[in-house]
Chains A and B, each alone.
Chain A
């Protein structure tokens, strides 16, 4: 089993609130990713990081921000949640070399009301 954890698993929150989705891994992986996925739809990369102090935006424009102050931790923040942010957010990590597999956390299912 992968040692990558996301909290909370489920979050229902009101419009305008600031939220932080947590993602931690204990495998020492340099690469970490955030994907967004609506039910029955494809995964969209929204942020990724190659190591401490490295963050990049993904293919899908997102109003969220990320930080990578520690190798094991890659939180995602929404400053002001909106109903359009309702989705599942999946965090993943992998070693730096290509050809190695990525492990996913169980996801955070966010509902903004």
Chain B
């Protein structure tokens, strides 16, 4: 079983749609969690950290369920510019960042 697993993509949605991505991680000792965004042929960039209490940044909401080892990202009112690959990332003390395979989102007009 992979350490970080994400929904298979691609997700094809119209502008204005709400879309949710899921991610599960296998190591209960994981301590910090992130969502990164990667555009085609570019480097990954941090979208947001994920906190146990849940956190929101504009149209983006991230949730963490430690008991279920589950992370989610919700995007409301999708824009064309949201088209990218979204990477779930997990960090444990004493190890490197572990990336999921990513979920591709395509928003169309």
User: Hey, which bits of chain A sit against chain B, CB under 8 A?
Assistant: 31, 33, 35, 39, 41-43, 45, 48, 56, 58, 90, 92, 94, 98-107
Contacts and interface: CB of A to CB of B under 8 A. Distances in A.
A59 to B, nearest CB: 8
A99 B101 CA distance: 20
Contacts of A103: 46
Contacts, number: 48
Nearest to B99: A43
Given A43-B44, A104-B44, A104-B45, A98 B32 contact: yes
Contacts of B92: 98
12 contacts: A33-B96, A35-B99, A41-B101, A42-B99, A43-B87, A43-B99, A90-B43, A92-B97, A98-B91, A98-B93, A99-B49, A105-B43
B31 A99 contact: yes
